[in-house]
Chain A
């Protein structure tokens, strides 16, 4: 138990500290940058109205008082109200969250389902024309920005062929193009990474040893090469999550998808501070815990890493 704690403890502590810094940073930057009262009420608002608005939202207090209040409230899951919608910011965000998750989860699954097999296949047929053309394709896959890819897909499948709707989230077909847009770029990155991890593993001596003792090639790949190659891909998955979140903002904008991404763009444009903060915090929380989970999983999959921290156990 104490070994587990020694392995996981510092990582958890670091993750918690990161979150606190994100909260502090967003709070200071957003509050210090300008007057939300002017922004919401407009430049023609009268001074008493502005005053009343500031008093109502606690904006007349010194910055550190606002900060302490904010952190204390946040600990009770109270992130203040959206100044625009008048509803609790958290509620507003959670109303939109299912739609964004409905895009991101299938897209992440697609990323893995395409990326890993394609990368592994390319590695096993290294330097053939299949490998070269796949690798060329992946260069396009990860350099084409999601909003361009999305618009090109709309141009081909909605405008020209009329197969799928170009926007909205009301029909099952509506999911196809946004999910494809979000998933394909990630799949290209995973494919390239899986390929190089696989090539690396295939050149190891234990693969030679397995082949030499008469294990069939299929077995070598399945039981010796693939499980070892897949570990580093896990880490990349954590790093890619950020790209997916950023991608979701653009993809939602392209397809008029009423998820968190659109909410963020609208809130930023209107300087709805509470909502922006909740979204920033939610993203940081998701990414930090995903990376923490992957760090810990690493210890499960690769016992060597545990050994350095937990002594002889």
Chain B
């Protein structure tokens, strides 16, 4: 028999637990790989070796020569994986930064001007929310062609509406508080009020929002690359590798499994880390 109890106080926040530690470890490993990919990769990612095509990884009949096996053109899977991590993280970092900056800017503008400007921006946010980002991205990629810079900029549109909504809410709450009106009454320029006072006070929440955006961008990027519309050869990304592995799913499943595992682990790790950060930085956000 259970009884209902009114919970007045939640248990004290745990210190860092095991899943969080593993998540931190994995994220650090990914960051290190992204930075050190050229040093770590034993082969060029484009070096073709047809005599050793589809070699299995170590432990499945392969040798240490190609620790994670080779692909259909005899290219080293491990080397390609390191460079893929580099590309995917680069795209995701750039895009997250753009998304948070654009979102915060728009949110602050809406909060400052209110009235018609705010309504127009809110309508745009509604419109964005009514179209799945992947569909919009597909259409725009095919239209504007594809270079890495353009691709990062496009990915940067991901989640702007969520960040804008959040930033607007934060700014409206903040500007009603004492410190904001105090600086305003001292004659500070609105830019100064927003950038020097409101922004630092909202930064923690926006940072947590970024940890939500980041893994989602990794997933969208890999999805688009999987469809062949994201990162283009000769560059490689995790989605590109999965797409290539799909053709050889019966004969060389390692081509598929290696990048898939990295995508899943990274997304899970960042999301666990985000939960932890959220508890740490901003207990009011849910």
Contact = CB atoms under 8 A, between A and B. Distances in A.
B264 A243 contact: no
A268 B286 CA distance: 38
Contact of A202 (B4, B144, B228): B4
Contacts, number: 145
Chain A interface, DSSP helix/strand/loop, else mixed: helix
B143 interface: yes
A30 B257 CA distance: 37
Interface in B179-223: 215, 219, 222-223
B246 A151 contact: yes
A280 interface: yes
Interface stretch (B103-111, B126-134, B170-178): B126-134
A92 interface: no
A288 B129 CA distance: 9
Contacts of B239: 147
B99 interface: no
A246 B3 contact: no
Given A217-B1, A268-B138, A148 B264 contact: yes
Interface in B1-22: 1-7, 19
B271 A242 contact: no
A250 B223 contact: yes
A211 interface: yes
A265 to B, nearest CB: 6
Interface stretch (A60-68, A72-80, A138-146, A299-307): A138-146
Interface in B236-286: 239, 242, 245-246, 249-250, 253, 256-257, 260, 263-264, 267-268, 271-272, 286
Nearest to A283: B135
A208 B215 contact: no
B6 A205 contact: yes
A186 to B, nearest CB: 13
Given A30-B139, A148-B263, A207-B4, A140 B132 contact: no
Interface stretch (A14-22, A42-50, A101-109, A175-183): A14-22
B116 to A, nearest CB: 14
Interface string A214-251: 00010010000000000000000001001101100110
Interface residues of A, number: 60
A284 B144 contact: no
B4 A145 contact: no
A159 interface: yes
B160 interface: no
A268 B256 contact: no
A151 B249 contact: yes
B130 A145 contact: no
Contact of B143 (A34, A140, A159, A265): A34
Contact of A242 (B5, B131, B242): B131
A208 B129 CA distance: 38
A22 B130 contact: yes
A19 B8 CA distance: 46
Contacts of B166: none
B142 A269 contact: yes
A136 B20 CA distance: 12
Nearest to A32: B143
Contacts of B6: 203, 205, 208
A280 B135 contact: yes
Contacts of A283: 131-132, 135
Interface string A95-136: 000000000000000000000000000001000000000001
Given A29-B139, A140-B264, A151 B133 contact: no
Nearest to B137: A246
A155 B268 CA distance: 22
B135 A148 contact: no
Given A139-B272, A145-B223, A14 B126 contact: yes
A294 B250 CA distance: 44
Contact of A265 (B219, B227, B249): B227
Interface string B142-156: 111100000000000
A19 B131 CA distance: 10
Contacts of B5: 208
A25 B127 contact: yes
Contact of B264 (A144, A210, A239): A144
A215 B142 CA distance: 61
B36 interface: no
A25 to B, nearest CB: 7
Given A145-B219, A147-B242, A203-B7, A288 B130 contact: yes
Given A21-B124, A143-B271, A265-B229, 6 more contacts: A14-B123, A29-B139, A151-B246, A217-B1, A254-B246, A283-B132
Interface of B: 1-7, 19, 123-124, 126-127, 129-136, 138-145, 215, 219, 222-223, 226-229, 239, 242, 245-246, 249-250, 253, 256-257, 260, 263-264, 267-268, 271-272, 286
17 contacts: A14-B126, A18-B123, A18-B126, A18-B130, A22-B127, A143-B267, A144-B264, A145-B263, A151-B245, A159-B249, A208-B5, A211-B4, A253-B227, A268-B139, A269-B142, A284-B130, A288-B130
